[in-house]
Amino acid sequence: MPRLTINGRTITVEPGTTLLEAARCAGLAIPSLCYSKGLPHFTSCMVCVVQDKATGRLLPSCSAVATEGMEVETDTHDVRHARTGSLNLLMSEHAGDCEAPCTTTCPAHMKIPLMIRQIAAGKSGEALDTVYDTIALPAVLGRICPAPCEKACRRGRIDAPLSICLLKRFAADEGVASPFSTGQSAVPTKNKVAIVGAGPAGLAAAFYLARAGHHCTIFDDHAQPGGQLRHGVPAPLLPAAVLDREIDHIRQLGVIFRMNTRIGKDVAFQNLKAGFDAIVLATGKPSTETLNSWGVITTSQGIKVDGHTFRTSEENIFAGGEVVQAGHLAVRAVAHGKSMASSIDQFLTGLPVTGPTKRFESRLGKISDAENQELLKGAAPSSRITPCGGSGTGFTQDEAIRESQRCMHCDCRKAEACKLRDYMEAQLTGPMHIPAEGRKPVERNLTHPRIIFEPGKCILCGLCVRITTQAGEKPGLTFLNRGVDAVVGVPFGASLEAALGQSADRCVKECPTGALAWNHS
Amino acid sequence: MIIAAYAVGASEGILYIRAEYPLAIRRIREALARLEARGYLGPSIMGGAFSLSLRIVEGAGAFVSGEETALLASIEGQRAMPRFRPPYPAERGLWGCPTAINNVETLAMVPWIIRNGADRFTALGTATSAGTKVFSLTGKVQRGGLIEVPMGITIHEIVEDIGGGTGTNRAFKAVQIGGPSGGCLPASCGDTRVDYEALAAAGCIMGSGGLVVLDDTDCMVDLARYFMTFTQQESCGKCTPCRIGTKRMLEILEKLCAGHGKQGDLERLEHLAQTTRTGSLCGLGRTAPNPVLSTLRHFREEYAAHQAGRCPALKCRALISYRINEKCIGCTKCAQVCPVDAIDPAPYQPHFIQQDKCTRCDTCKQVCPVDAIWIGDTDQQPVTGAGDPCRD
């Protein structure tokens, strides 16, 4: 049995064990995009390289077999350079957005296409869960949001953008969310958070903090909560009853509202600092005098915060909404609320305060008209629907479903299950950016009843080719062409359905990117 | 090959020849038939216990099929994609059986060595690279063709003594040695000895035995672009660094030749070359950056000139313009041959070339009886160096 050393640790493995498997035995995870246990190795992605100490050579660990006395390093400069090099090259030709333009444009980063798919499937409850994931006040924003997302919608280039805001309103008004997403199943902690200001930023912070089990008290000098939502929006646009309903919901989560209470007058700021573990400042634009009374560093804009964590110069004081950034966008205030809640939750649980998870995003950038037509495949040709009840009303179920069928689903179905994205995220500090002007064209194959195949996202790892070959699928998938034109395709003009055969599930599961994905997830 | 088969105890042999080389196939087929007829091949050779059958497998042309594991995959009816070694073919080769696989040039040495003895063979060449090497000498050379030279001969000896110099009145500039994935050596390195070690040290390889001689009208960036076009197309597409790295390098080279070079292009090229060289699975990818790396090493100023929109060799069409000087006698010959009518055929009038129409095809220059057509930069200034009318 060969004995080898990996990163200075000596282990003994069965003869024939590959370096990748040996490293895993030693508890070391080696990234790989083309390896799968049980399939013949293929050595294509070259992300799994390790360095042989004796020769300095880089070896693909998925294929190189451990030999007696071998010394291997998995985290040298050369290894990192080679791995990042291969990943950057794969990204340089990757034709796909991780998130759709609507999502990346939305200040709250809402997963809009997912919500739309859920509405289309008649699952308005799940759709509302999706909205709640980023937006604490769905019914309110379903009525007043200026919807920057709709300006980014690629359907707008075809005829008119999706009616995203009204679809969100439909989910909020008609959907029954799960206890988790509404915060009803939260397990209480002992942490107390004071929130100054009952406007959209403060309410959103309270919602997500309460959902995480923290005890929140909101202070506001008005008689009723809502801030600008109550006092700055005309009633026909946002009826008080809708606002009250969402505030009631937050109240039911155990959030205490102390109205008619002005900090610095009725309650001293020092008392907040003494009585609470963390403080949220979401007062809207206050006077300079008030700003100074909080003892945090300010700028001409307002309170100075970290742009991602919303932490002020004081480690337990966070600020968001108009108090840090001018502008009346409620959706941005709500987004700040969620970000503050993420940071405070990290702070209270003793984790490093990094704010909400910021994911690596593959971006297509400008796409051609032909590519836009590719993305249009599968979308209903009907034109944008306006509610039959006239302006100011929402969609009926039928209208919502028909409108949602217009969505082009520009997002990646496997945005959360993509190894390429995960690895890029882990190695964001690549040595050199490779311009992506030579990327593959956007292409969608929807001929399979359940699967979407996007060749532009294929990294030619050959897993699906090997899976279908091993399973004896006729004809299976194969490689076509050479060089950079090499593609995975269906041979002899057969259908994708026939090529994948009984192996379809496994191929989708093992595909390391969104090249093969379930169409309706 | 029969001797090699006897040495390793093989009972079957295959000659893998590209189907695009029908003459080679016809000759080998004829040779095999004659050998069989005389009892040198087949069952019980020359009445002895040793039997050997040889057959031809025609490969559907692919450069990568020269890589041994890809060649074996091709014989097995698979896509010609290399695989990781070990196991080496000697351990697990064709159909999983131990396989001795050699280049025809290597096998051709065997009878000579047996006939004349190893001592006479090692007396040729250098201490580390014994014997001789066959090169295909081409390019700007008076006497081209296949040459067999002792290892250790210098580049200069090959170019001047065997090739007879450039054969033009142009200066010998460089050699590209080792085929599309070989490297370039400048004339100043003409004393480099042709053996494995010296070439490797100079950033070159013996490779496919190609030896292209270049003169000062050859552009090194264009040359790198040309070879990268080839390797990029011939990459099997399997591993990431080779498949995409060669393409990204080619894109940069194409932009440089088209006058669209950008700041940082040379560093990007070097970075990509390094990634492709160290990360690729097989020899094709590992050596594909050689033309880029070696020309960057020896002719970096030419790259910098392209970045600035100039081609010093006056070769890259996007960076040059054709002009007619006062020597013109108005004979209209150039106008008659111009394929795009960029020259007005006014008899006995000095001709001029309409730059927006000219495709820089060089036809006019070739027919001009008084050498009145010269090539300059696109900014209309005659440049010093090759093609300079003042110097001619």
Which of B78, B227, B238 to mutate: most A Cβ within 10 Å? Answer: B238
- Look at A483 and B233 and tell me if their CB atoms are within 8 Å: yes
- Look at B239 and A459 and tell me if their CB atoms are within 8 Å: no
Residues of chain A neighbouring B238 (CB-CB closer than 8 A)? 42-44, 460, 462, 486
Nearest chain B CA: its distance from A440 CA (Å)? 11
Residues A46 and A51: their CA atoms lie apart, in Å, by: 12
Residues of chain A neighbouring B83 (CB-CB closer than 8 A)? 43, 63
Q: What is the pLDDT of residue A159?
A: 97
CB-based contact, B85 to chain A, within 8 Å: no
User: What is the SS3 assignment for B48?
Assistant: coil
pLDDT band for B377, please (50, 70, 90 cuts). confident
Composition of chain A by helix, strand, coil, percent to 5: 40, 10, 50
Task: Name the residue type at position A195.
Answer: I
CB-based contact, B268 to chain A, within 8 Å: yes
Question: Chain A neighbours among B 161-220 (CB < 8 Å)?
Answer: none
Whether residue B328 is predicted with pLDDT greater than 50 in this model: the reply is yes
- Name the residue in chain B with its Cα closest to that of A438: B248
How many other CB atoms sit within 10 Å of the CB of residue B184?
31
- Name the residue in chain B with its Cα closest to that of A89: B244
- For residue A394, give Cα distances in angstroms to A397, B152, B236: 10, 86, 56
pTM assigned to the model: 0.91
- Look at A460 and B234 and tell me if their CB atoms are within 8 Å: no
Beta bridge partners of A298: A303
Q: What is the pLDDT of residue B390?
A: 35
Which of A58, A434, A481 to mutate: most B Cβ within 10 Å? Answer: A434
Q: What is the pLDDT of residue A326?
A: 87
Q: What is the pLDDT of residue A292?
A: 87
Closest CA to B231 of B29, B19, B12, B67: B67
- Look at B234 and A482 and tell me if their CB atoms are within 8 Å: yes
Tokens of A9: 């640790």
3-state DSSP of A435-451: CHHHCCCCCCECCCCCE
The whole-chain average pLDDT of chain B stands at 92
Residues of chain A neighbouring B272 (CB-CB closer than 8 A)? 434
Averaged pLDDT for residues B359-381: 88
CB-based contact, A466 to chain B, within 8 Å: no
Q: What is the pLDDT of residue A521?
A: 60
Q: What is the pLDDT of residue B389?
A: 37
Residues of chain A neighbouring B237 (CB-CB closer than 8 A)? 460, 479, 481-486
Q: What is the pLDDT of residue A58?
A: 95
- Look at A486 and B236 and tell me if their CB atoms are within 8 Å: yes
Residues A150 and A105: their CA atoms lie apart, in Å, by: 9
Closest CA to A225 of A205, A201, A244, A253: A244
- Look at B279 and A431 and tell me if their CB atoms are within 8 Å: no
How many other CB atoms sit within 10 Å of the CB of residue A300?
4
Q: What is the DSSP letter of B154?
A: B
Nearest chain A CA: its distance from B275 CA (Å)? 6
CB-based contact, B234 to chain A, within 8 Å: yes
CB-based contact, B262 to chain A, within 8 Å: no
Of B79, B84, B243, the CB nearest to A484: B243
- Name the residue in chain B with its Cα closest to that of A57: B278
Residues B187 and B11: their CA atoms lie apart, in Å, by: 49
CB-based contact, B232 to chain A, within 8 Å: yes
Bond from prior residue into B86 cis (ω within 30 degrees of 0): yes
Say if residues B150 and B125 touch (Cβ distance below 8 Å): yes
Beta bridge partners of B148: B134
Size of interface A-B (CB pairs under 8 A): 108
- Look at B279 and A85 and tell me if their CB atoms are within 8 Å: yes
ipTM for the whole complex: 0.89
Say if residues A176 and A401 touch (Cβ distance below 8 Å): no
Q: pLDDT tens, position by position, for chain A (521 residues)?
A: 899 999 999 999 999 999 999 999 999 999 999 999 999 999 999 999 999 999 999 999 999 999 999 999 999 999 999 999 999 999 999 999 999 999 999 999 999 999 999 999 999 999 999 999 999 999 999 999 999 999 999 999 999 999 999 999 999 999 988 888 888 888 999 999 999 999 999 999 999 999 999 999 999 999 999 999 999 999 899 999 999 999 999 999 999 999 999 999 999 999 999 999 999 999 998 888 888 889 999 988 899 999 999 999 999 999 999 999 888 899 999 999 999 999 999 999 999 999 999 889 999 988 999 999 999 999 999 999 999 988 789 999 999 999 999 999 999 999 999 999 999 988 755 545 666 567 899 999 999 999 999 999 999 999 999 999 999 999 999 999 988 899 999 998 899 999 999 999 999 999 999 999 998 76
Q: What is the pLDDT of residue A328?
A: 81
H-helix segments, A121-239: 124-132, 138-144, 148-152, 164-174, 179-182, 200-211, 228-231
pLDDT tens column, B195-251: 999 999 888 888 889 999 999 999 999 999 999 999 999 999 999 999 999 999 999
Which of B234, B243, B251, B272 to mutate: most A Cβ within 10 Å? Answer: B243
Inter-helix orientation angle B300-307/B265-279, to 10° = 130
Residues B78 and B70: their CA atoms lie apart, in Å, by: 9
Residues B204 and B218: their CA atoms lie apart, in Å, by: 19
Residues A52 and A35: their CA atoms lie apart, in Å, by: 20
- Look at B235 and A42 and tell me if their CB atoms are within 8 Å: no
Q: What is the pLDDT of residue A512?
A: 98
Beta bridge partners of B310: none
Residues A370 and A372: their CA atoms lie apart, in Å, by: 5
Q: What is the pLDDT of residue B388?
A: 38
Burial A358-395 (b: 16+ CB within 10 A, else e): eebebebeebeeebbebbbeebeeeeebebeeeeeebb
Residues of chain B neighbouring A459 (CB-CB closer than 8 A)? 240
- Name the residue in chain A with its Cα closest to that of B272: A85
CB-based contact, B281 to chain A, within 8 Å: yes
Say if residues A360 and A321 touch (Cβ distance below 8 Å): no
Burial B342-363 (b: 16+ CB within 10 A, else e): bbeeeeeeebebeeeebebeeb
Residues of chain B neighbouring A431 (CB-CB closer than 8 A)? 271
Half-sphere exposure for A124 (CA within 13 Å, toward CB): 19
Say if residues B179 and B63 touch (Cβ distance below 8 Å): no
Averaged pLDDT for residues B96-102: 95
- Look at B233 and A431 and tell me if their CB atoms are within 8 Å: no
Of B235, B278, B279, the CB nearest to A483: B235
Q: What is the pLDDT of residue B382?
A: 45
CB-based contact, B67 to chain A, within 8 Å: no
Residues B53 and B43: their CA atoms lie apart, in Å, by: 8
Nearest chain B CA: its distance from A501 CA (Å)? 22
Helix (H) or strand (E) holding A257: strand A256-258
Q: What is the pLDDT of residue A431?
A: 45
Residues of chain B neighbouring A482 (CB-CB closer than 8 A)? 62, 233-237
Nearest chain A CA: its distance from B313 CA (Å)? 28
Residues of chain A neighbouring B232 (CB-CB closer than 8 A)? 483-484
- For residue B66, give Cα distances in angstroms to A196, B279, B354: 73, 20, 48
- Name the residue in chain A with its Cα closest to that of B271: A432
Question: Chain B neighbours among A 39-78 (CB < 8 Å)?
Answer: 41-47, 49, 58, 60, 63-65, 78
Say if residues A166 and A129 touch (Cβ distance below 8 Å): no
Nearest chain A CA: its distance from B85 CA (Å)? 8
- Quote the Cα angle for B287-B292-B317, to 5°: 135
User: What is the SS3 assignment for A351?
Assistant: coil
- Look at B238 and A43 and tell me if their CB atoms are within 8 Å: yes
Task: Return the sign of the alpha-carbon dihedral for residues A290, A294, A300, A305.
Answer: negative
- Look at B278 and A82 and tell me if their CB atoms are within 8 Å: yes
Averaged pLDDT for residues B143-172: 93
Of A86, A437, A460, the CB nearest to B279: A86
Nearest chain A CA: its distance from B196 CA (Å)? 19
Whether residue B143 is predicted with pLDDT greater than 50 in this model: the reply is yes
Chain-centre distance of CA B384, in angstroms? 29
Residues A323 and A449: their CA atoms lie apart, in Å, by: 51
Whether residue B380 is predicted with pLDDT greater than 60 in this model: the reply is no
Which of A62, A87, A484 to mutate: most B Cβ within 10 Å? Answer: A484
CB-based contact, A480 to chain B, within 8 Å: no
